[in-house]
Amino acid sequence: MKTDTDIRDNRAGEGVAQGPRHVAIIMDGNGRWAQARGRPRLFGHHAGARRVREVVECCPGLGIRYLTIFAFSTENWKRTQTEVAGLMSLFRRYISKEMKALAAKNVRVRFIGDRVRLDRKLIDLMDALELETEENTGTQLTIALNYGGRDEVARATKRLARDVSDGKLDPADVDEETLPKYLDTCVLPDPDLVVRTSGEARISNFLLWQSAYAEYEFIDTLWPDFTAKELEILCQNYGARDRRFGTVKT
Protein backbone atom coordinates (compact mmCIF):
# COMPACT_ATOMS: atom_id res chain seq x y z
CA MET A 1 0.00 0.00 0.00
CA LYS A 2 1.15 3.51 -0.75
CA THR A 3 1.63 5.87 2.13
CA ASP A 4 -0.76 8.73 2.48
CA THR A 5 1.03 11.92 3.36
CA ASP A 6 -2.10 13.46 4.81
CA ILE A 7 -2.47 11.22 7.82
CA ARG A 8 -0.78 12.47 10.91
CA ASP A 9 -3.50 13.78 13.16
CA ASN A 10 -5.17 12.25 16.21
CA ARG A 11 -2.88 13.83 18.71
CA ALA A 12 -4.10 15.53 21.84
CA GLY A 13 -5.28 19.06 21.29
CA GLU A 14 -5.78 18.80 17.53
CA GLY A 15 -9.09 18.90 15.72
CA VAL A 16 -11.06 18.63 18.94
CA ALA A 17 -13.70 21.26 18.37
CA GLN A 18 -14.64 20.05 14.90
CA GLY A 19 -16.31 17.00 13.52
CA PRO A 20 -14.54 13.64 13.22
CA ARG A 21 -11.99 13.28 10.46
CA HIS A 22 -12.01 9.48 10.54
CA VAL A 23 -15.30 7.66 11.20
CA ALA A 24 -15.38 3.87 11.52
CA ILE A 25 -18.71 2.05 11.38
CA ILE A 26 -19.69 -1.42 12.58
CA MET A 27 -22.59 -1.98 10.20
CA ASP A 28 -24.72 -4.31 12.33
CA GLY A 29 -28.37 -5.37 12.31
CA ASN A 30 -28.95 -6.57 8.74
CA GLY A 31 -30.21 -9.98 9.90
CA ARG A 32 -32.69 -8.57 12.42
CA TRP A 33 -33.90 -6.02 9.87
CA ALA A 34 -34.73 -8.85 7.46
CA GLN A 35 -36.22 -11.07 10.18
CA ALA A 36 -38.57 -8.25 11.20
CA ARG A 37 -39.88 -8.34 7.63
CA GLY A 38 -40.20 -12.11 7.53
CA ARG A 39 -37.40 -12.33 4.99
CA PRO A 40 -34.14 -14.31 4.89
CA ARG A 41 -31.03 -12.75 6.43
CA LEU A 42 -29.44 -12.19 3.03
CA PHE A 43 -32.29 -9.85 2.14
CA GLY A 44 -31.04 -7.67 5.00
CA HIS A 45 -27.46 -7.85 3.77
CA HIS A 46 -28.51 -6.63 0.34
CA ALA A 47 -30.47 -3.76 1.90
CA GLY A 48 -27.43 -2.97 4.05
CA ALA A 49 -25.09 -2.86 1.06
CA ARG A 50 -27.42 -0.38 -0.63
CA ARG A 51 -27.04 2.01 2.36
CA VAL A 52 -23.30 2.31 1.91
CA ARG A 53 -23.38 4.63 -1.08
CA GLU A 54 -25.37 7.40 0.64
CA VAL A 55 -23.09 7.25 3.66
CA VAL A 56 -19.94 7.44 1.52
CA GLU A 57 -21.34 10.32 -0.49
CA CYS A 58 -22.23 12.43 2.54
CA CYS A 59 -18.68 12.30 3.93
CA PRO A 60 -17.21 15.34 2.16
CA GLY A 61 -20.10 17.52 3.34
CA LEU A 62 -19.52 16.42 6.93
CA GLY A 63 -15.76 16.94 6.82
CA ILE A 64 -15.11 13.18 7.08
CA ARG A 65 -11.97 12.37 5.14
CA TYR A 66 -11.61 8.74 6.21
CA LEU A 67 -14.50 6.30 6.40
CA THR A 68 -13.86 2.72 7.52
CA ILE A 69 -16.66 0.16 7.38
CA PHE A 70 -16.79 -3.32 8.90
CA ALA A 71 -18.24 -5.66 6.29
CA PHE A 72 -17.17 -9.15 7.44
CA SER A 73 -15.31 -10.27 10.53
CA THR A 74 -12.90 -13.16 11.02
CA GLU A 75 -15.64 -14.65 13.23
CA ASN A 76 -18.39 -14.35 10.61
CA TRP A 77 -17.18 -17.57 8.93
CA LYS A 78 -18.98 -19.36 11.78
CA ARG A 79 -22.34 -18.50 10.17
CA THR A 80 -24.20 -20.95 7.94
CA GLN A 81 -22.62 -21.87 4.64
CA THR A 82 -25.62 -20.29 2.86
CA GLU A 83 -25.14 -16.95 4.60
CA VAL A 84 -21.36 -16.89 4.11
CA ALA A 85 -21.63 -17.82 0.42
CA GLY A 86 -24.39 -15.24 -0.04
CA LEU A 87 -22.24 -12.55 1.59
CA MET A 88 -19.20 -13.41 -0.55
CA SER A 89 -21.33 -13.23 -3.68
CA LEU A 90 -22.76 -9.91 -2.47
CA PHE A 91 -19.23 -8.51 -1.97
CA ARG A 92 -18.26 -9.55 -5.50
CA ARG A 93 -21.38 -7.97 -6.91
CA TYR A 94 -21.02 -4.81 -4.80
CA ILE A 95 -17.42 -4.23 -5.94
CA SER A 96 -18.21 -4.79 -9.63
CA LYS A 97 -21.28 -2.57 -9.47
CA GLU A 98 -19.88 0.26 -7.36
CA MET A 99 -16.47 0.44 -9.04
CA LYS A 100 -17.47 3.14 -11.52
CA ALA A 101 -19.58 5.17 -9.07
CA LEU A 102 -16.79 5.25 -6.48
CA ALA A 103 -14.15 6.16 -9.05
CA ALA A 104 -16.38 8.91 -10.45
CA LYS A 105 -16.85 10.38 -6.98
CA ASN A 106 -13.08 10.55 -6.44
CA VAL A 107 -13.30 7.97 -3.61
CA ARG A 108 -10.18 5.97 -2.86
CA VAL A 109 -10.87 2.44 -1.69
CA ARG A 110 -8.63 0.22 0.42
CA PHE A 111 -9.34 -3.15 1.98
CA ILE A 112 -8.10 -4.35 5.35
CA GLY A 113 -8.26 -7.86 6.74
CA ASP A 114 -6.68 -11.16 5.82
CA ARG A 115 -7.17 -12.07 2.17
CA VAL A 116 -5.91 -15.65 2.36
CA ARG A 117 -9.31 -17.17 3.09
CA LEU A 118 -11.12 -15.20 0.38
CA ASP A 119 -11.72 -16.67 -3.07
CA ARG A 120 -9.52 -15.69 -6.00
CA LYS A 121 -12.27 -13.91 -7.90
CA LEU A 122 -13.10 -11.69 -4.94
CA ILE A 123 -9.42 -10.91 -4.30
CA ASP A 124 -8.98 -9.93 -7.96
CA LEU A 125 -11.96 -7.56 -7.73
CA MET A 126 -10.59 -6.03 -4.52
CA ASP A 127 -7.20 -5.51 -6.17
CA ALA A 128 -8.86 -3.98 -9.23
CA LEU A 129 -10.92 -1.56 -7.14
CA GLU A 130 -7.87 -0.49 -5.13
CA LEU A 131 -5.91 0.05 -8.32
CA GLU A 132 -8.74 1.84 -10.12
CA THR A 133 -9.15 4.35 -7.27
CA GLU A 134 -5.50 4.62 -6.24
CA GLU A 135 -5.04 8.18 -7.48
CA ASN A 136 -8.31 9.46 -6.04
CA THR A 137 -7.97 12.25 -3.54
CA GLY A 138 -11.49 12.43 -2.11
CA THR A 139 -12.98 10.31 0.67
CA GLN A 140 -10.62 7.55 1.75
CA LEU A 141 -12.89 4.53 2.12
CA THR A 142 -11.55 1.45 3.89
CA ILE A 143 -13.54 -1.76 3.78
CA ALA A 144 -12.77 -4.32 6.50
CA LEU A 145 -13.33 -7.74 4.96
CA ASN A 146 -12.32 -10.88 6.80
CA TYR A 147 -10.99 -8.47 9.37
CA GLY A 148 -10.40 -9.10 13.06
CA GLY A 149 -8.40 -6.83 15.34
CA ARG A 150 -6.68 -9.74 17.10
CA ASP A 151 -5.90 -11.44 13.80
CA GLU A 152 -4.46 -8.18 12.49
CA VAL A 153 -2.20 -7.76 15.55
CA ALA A 154 -1.09 -11.40 15.27
CA ARG A 155 -0.26 -11.00 11.56
CA ALA A 156 1.54 -7.72 12.28
CA THR A 157 3.56 -9.36 15.04
CA LYS A 158 4.56 -12.16 12.70
CA ARG A 159 5.88 -9.64 10.14
CA LEU A 160 7.63 -7.66 12.85
CA ALA A 161 9.26 -10.82 14.24
CA ARG A 162 10.46 -11.68 10.74
CA ASP A 163 12.08 -8.24 10.41
CA VAL A 164 13.82 -8.82 13.75
CA SER A 165 15.11 -12.23 12.71
CA ASP A 166 16.25 -10.78 9.35
CA GLY A 167 18.19 -8.13 11.25
CA LYS A 168 16.08 -5.27 9.84
CA LEU A 169 14.63 -4.28 13.19
CA ASP A 170 16.19 -4.02 16.63
CA PRO A 171 13.79 -5.28 19.35
CA ALA A 172 14.90 -2.32 21.45
CA ASP A 173 13.30 -0.03 18.87
CA VAL A 174 9.85 -1.63 19.08
CA ASP A 175 7.45 0.90 20.57
CA GLU A 176 3.97 2.42 20.07
CA GLU A 177 5.11 4.07 16.84
CA THR A 178 6.72 0.95 15.37
CA LEU A 179 4.00 -1.63 15.83
CA PRO A 180 1.20 0.25 13.95
CA LYS A 181 3.46 0.37 10.89
CA TYR A 182 2.88 -3.38 10.61
CA LEU A 183 -0.91 -3.17 10.93
CA ASP A 184 -3.24 -3.31 7.91
CA THR A 185 -4.16 0.29 8.70
CA CYS A 186 -0.56 1.54 8.53
CA VAL A 187 -1.41 4.41 6.15
CA LEU A 188 -4.52 5.52 8.01
CA PRO A 189 -4.94 7.78 11.02
CA ASP A 190 -6.71 6.32 14.05
CA PRO A 191 -10.50 6.61 14.04
CA ASP A 192 -11.92 9.60 15.88
CA LEU A 193 -15.42 8.19 16.10
CA VAL A 194 -16.55 4.56 16.06
CA VAL A 195 -20.25 3.98 15.43
CA ARG A 196 -22.07 0.70 15.95
CA THR A 197 -25.63 0.30 14.77
CA SER A 198 -28.27 -2.18 16.00
CA GLY A 199 -28.16 -1.55 19.75
CA GLU A 200 -25.24 -3.84 20.61
CA ALA A 201 -22.66 -2.13 22.82
CA ARG A 202 -19.58 -4.13 21.90
CA ILE A 203 -16.62 -3.87 19.57
CA SER A 204 -16.65 -7.43 18.15
CA ASN A 205 -12.92 -7.37 17.38
CA PHE A 206 -12.94 -4.15 15.31
CA LEU A 207 -9.86 -1.87 15.20
CA LEU A 208 -8.73 -2.84 18.69
CA TRP A 209 -5.37 -1.10 18.61
CA GLN A 210 -6.50 1.88 16.55
CA SER A 211 -9.55 2.76 18.66
CA ALA A 212 -7.71 3.10 21.97
CA TYR A 213 -8.77 6.75 22.16
CA ALA A 214 -11.75 6.83 19.80
CA GLU A 215 -15.10 8.23 20.81
CA TYR A 216 -17.93 5.68 20.58
CA GLU A 217 -21.58 5.87 19.57
CA PHE A 218 -23.81 2.85 20.00
CA ILE A 219 -27.13 3.55 18.33
CA ASP A 220 -30.30 1.47 18.06
CA THR A 221 -30.89 1.97 14.32
CA LEU A 222 -30.43 -1.23 12.31
CA TRP A 223 -27.85 -0.72 9.57
CA PRO A 224 -30.30 -0.92 6.60
CA ASP A 225 -32.21 2.02 8.18
CA PHE A 226 -29.12 4.18 8.77
CA THR A 227 -29.07 7.50 6.91
CA ALA A 228 -26.73 10.39 6.14
CA LYS A 229 -28.91 12.54 8.41
CA GLU A 230 -28.18 10.25 11.34
CA LEU A 231 -24.45 10.39 10.65
CA GLU A 232 -24.67 14.18 10.58
CA ILE A 233 -26.23 14.15 14.07
CA LEU A 234 -23.51 11.81 15.36
CA CYS A 235 -20.87 14.15 13.96
CA GLN A 236 -22.51 17.09 15.73
CA ASN A 237 -22.52 15.12 19.01
CA TYR A 238 -18.86 14.34 18.47
CA GLY A 239 -18.10 18.05 18.13
CA ALA A 240 -19.50 18.63 21.61
CA ARG A 241 -17.29 15.98 23.22
CA ASP A 242 -14.17 16.73 25.19
CA ARG A 243 -11.32 14.47 24.10
CA ARG A 244 -8.70 14.66 26.80
CA PHE A 245 -6.26 11.89 25.82
CA GLY A 246 -5.32 11.50 29.46
CA THR A 247 -4.45 15.14 30.00
CA VAL A 248 -6.11 17.67 32.29
CA LYS A 249 -7.36 20.92 30.82
CA THR A 250 -5.79 23.96 32.45
Site residues (vs ligand IPE, CB under 6 A):
26-32, 70-73, 76, 87, 198, 200, 202, 204
Catalytic entry in 9, 76, 114, 136: 76
Residue 76's binding partner among ligand IPE, Mg ion, none (Cβ under 5 to 8 angstroms by kind) is ligand IPE
Residue among 71 and 118 whose Cβ is closer to ligand IPE: 71
C-beta of residue 27 within 8 angstroms of C-beta of residue 44? no
- In whole angstroms, the minimum distance from the beta carbon of 199 to ligand IPE comes to 9
- Near Mg ion in 24-53, by CB under 5 A: 28
Beta bridge partners of 26: 70, 196
C-alpha 163/C-alpha 134 separation (Å) is 27
Task: Give the three-class secondary structure for 13.
Answer: coil
Residue among 24 and 160 whose Cβ is closer to ligand IPE: 24
Residue among 30 and 139 whose Cβ is closer to ligand IPE: 30
28: annotated active-site residue = yes
Q: Nearest CA to 54 among 226, 217, 237, 236?
A: 226
- Positive or negative: CA dihedral 170, 11, 206, 100: negative
146: annotated active-site residue = no
C-alpha 213/C-alpha 11 separation (Å) is 10
- In whole angstroms, the minimum distance from the beta carbon of 201 to ligand IPE comes to 10
Amino acid in the structure at residue 59: C
Q: Nearest CA to 56 among 141, 131, 129?
A: 141
- In whole angstroms, the minimum distance from the beta carbon of 67 to ligand IPE comes to 15
Which amino acids are annotated catalytic?
A: 28, 76
Residues binding Mg ion (CB under 5 A): 28
